[in-house]
Structure 1
Amino acid sequence: MADRKRLYDPSKQEDYTKLLELLAADSESEDENPNSQSDSDEDVECNESNSDNENEDVSVDINTWFRVSKETPVHLNLCSGDSFDLTIVSDPVNFSSQYSAFTQFMPRSVFVHVADQTNLYAQQFLDKTHDFSPRSRYAKWKDCTTEDIEAMVAMEIGMGMCRKPSLKDYFSETSWLLRTPNFGEVMSRDKYFLLRSFVHFNNNANFVKKGLPEYDPLFKIRPIIEMTKETYLQHVQPGKCVSVDETMLKFTGRLWFKQYLPSKPSTKWGIKLWSLCDSKTGFLCKFDTYVGKGSGVKTGETLGEHVVKNLLRGFEKSN
């Protein structure tokens, strides 16, 4: 039973932050399978300018992370026949691995904020609730750390890569069929579910009720949106041709501004986003969430005009 009650171990901090790379490493083992298809079916060509301004064609596997030069367009020729240029404007070392690239768009400040808000909500909940049993998992709550939130996010991503019938199955230690390494080693089952119960992104004390002028339908996640939406253009420079279109984020839960678009081939139910993307690469530059007709639209302005002007704000003097 002692193994089932593991608590956070500071010595495993590096394992927490590297879990994404550990999970991604499983896919690399497929390259060693002699029955796999030839590399020519999965390769793309990367033409990269060197210090002598000479072009060199490098064949890389689509699952292989490769270095790029700062402010140098990387020309990719896909095996489908499509090609595009992608310009990295930040330090190339920021994209030296999958994990480092992930942290450029989801910086540590986000995890610090989530840890603070989670501890705040847990304290608010425990102060108001006095009727739970001493054996309740709520009685075991201890303030979480930034590393705990990072570990939880990594586990959530890993769960999306490895689907199981139940969340408890990821922590199974008895069944040879359901047992999955890493998950239980990073965080115990009880601690994961307790953290999942309290995780929060904004202070409920500042919530404005619906119907009031300052009501924000995205209040619960507004800080995360504002902290991450500006990171896209900080690291990748789009081309001169951009496109504005609607994108569906799959969601089947209960939400009053959930949309149904029967014309979409894959995601018909979900949250609609207005997206500004690079026309050639499809890279997402900016986005805005659609929360209902007329929201934020000025008098005498159509919804289409409002969306385009809002997403193109900051590009007025761009060539």
Structure 2
Amino acid sequence: MVNSLLILTSSSTGNNIFCTPAIRFLRKHLPQARIDVVALNALSAQVFEHNPAINKLWVTSSLRRVNKLAQDYDAVLAFNKNALKKLPFNDPRLQLATIDKTDVHYAEQLLGFCQQWLSQQLQRQIEITDEDRCYAIYSAPGQVSLLSRFEVQPADTVINIHLGCGTTLLHGWKFFYARRADDKKLWSIDAYIELGQLLVQAIPGVRLVITGTSNEAFLAKKFVKAVPNSINLAGKTTVADLRQLMERSNLFISHDCGVFHVAAAAQVPMLGLFGPTNHLLTGPYPQRANRQLIKKDSMADIRPQEVLQQALLLLGRPAQA
């Protein structure tokens, strides 16, 4: 019987969100066990904050520290192989989750790995239910919404648009202006601005909320300058803030990024913009009718007008001619 379990995750916000259904699944079937989690940096660790399924959250990228921590656990599970490249952990108790299917969502494959592992440990067949198939991200108790600082009315239509991605997070404007055409996930800031202007024209009382990290603030400044009355929250949000923001939003629009998966933890309708990246592996999870994708061969093929039409449908408004 496993009484203590250490889970190794990653430095990616999105990849760590994929881990949350599996962690809750483990807690469901090991209610008395100590389940602790290692994240490789502080930003990605925010995904696990306030999570009742986790006893202790460790933030470290030190192999020496992880080796020392692991001595106190019955088992160690690694949920991300890329994390092991940065953290070449060597221990006979370690088991690496196998993510080898390109047509099954990453989160679903992690659940399947935990199902098999638990069935072996408990010596009985463990089943995955539909209730297990959802992300688990939590706001802080008593947390105040960032929108309370702005004059957002109950009748306003709030649309959250996220402009950045993992690469702009790391490298900021230098990457964006020098190599943005190389990124398969990014939609251009000019396209987002055109979309924002179309949304303002089409929806009376719309409030566009722009999010991103401080490294992506240059994108948000350009957007709000071109689309007045937008709310700029770039560099001002934690994962918990974003999770709460989704509860007030009427629609979330973004390309494939970590915040896209934060939105999937809520009930907010979602519109994802996907180029050649694999939407089956990293798209919205679980699939729902109010989670739609526009997928093209390249991000440049996606036009603001078609995004507007799909957004209007998700908001329950008639499409424009």
TM-score, normalised to structure 1, is 0.25
TM-score, normalised to structure 2, is 0.25
Q: Which has the higher contact order (CA 8 A, sep 6+)?
A: 2
